[in-house]
Amino acid sequence: MSSVIRTDIQNDTVSTALARADDALDDLTPLMEQLGQLMVVQTKKNFDAGTAPDGTPWAPKSETTKEAYRRRQAKGSVAVVSDRPLIGPNKMLSTQITFEATSDTMDWGSNMVYAAVMQLGAAKGAFGTKSGIDKNGRAFAMAIPWGHIPARPYLGIGPDDEMAILRAIELWLTATTDAP
């Protein structure tokens, strides 16, 4: 048989800190906002490094894609073409990473229409075909996408991200419970 010994200690400082921690833990919005900002920064680092969150290098941009960009650039419709994967002529995907935070969740990513395809990849024709008449009056049909797009994960939590998240949570808890 085991015995339980219980002692109640009244300490205004500890009670106040515990009450603050309890209040803070009821609404984690400030923490979720910090984590959202952190993951936006970490994701942009993935674009700078050209790697997935786990450090795996992205598949290189295909010569076909680079040539298509060059043709558009020659027509004056596209900015400078980069050889770096996931860096398009307007750099929209790499610059449009955002987050939404609530009292108990945080989501981050991109609202670019092609964001999921870049993250997950897609087989040629995975989204059907586009057909029509070209400027010379000829009928055409093309697969969407027109070629295989390898997955290039830019969103996720790698080992460095995990450590940064844990540190941010630790600092937030410390600041929350140590505040006067």
59-65 long-range Cβ contacts below 8 angstroms, 24+ apart = 59/85, 59/150, 59/151, 59/152, 60/85, 61/85, 62/147, 64/147, 65/147
For 139, phi and psi rounded to 5 degrees? Answer: -70, 145
32-62 residue pLDDT tens: 999 999 999 999 999 999 999 999 999 998 8
pLDDT bin (cut points 50, 70, 90) of residue 140 is confident
pLDDT bin (cut points 50, 70, 90) of residue 14 is low
138: Cα separation from own chain's centroid: 41
Q: What is the pLDDT of residue 72?
A: 76
The Cα–Cα gap between 97 and 31 comes to: 19
- Range with the largest mean pLDDT of 3-17, 34-48, 72-86: 34-48
Query: pTM (2 decimals)?
Result: 0.77
Residue 174 burial by Cβ neighbours in a 10 Å radius (0-12, 13-18, 19+): exposed
The one-letter amino acid at 180: P
CA dihedral (151, 152, 155, 157) in degrees, to 10, reads 100
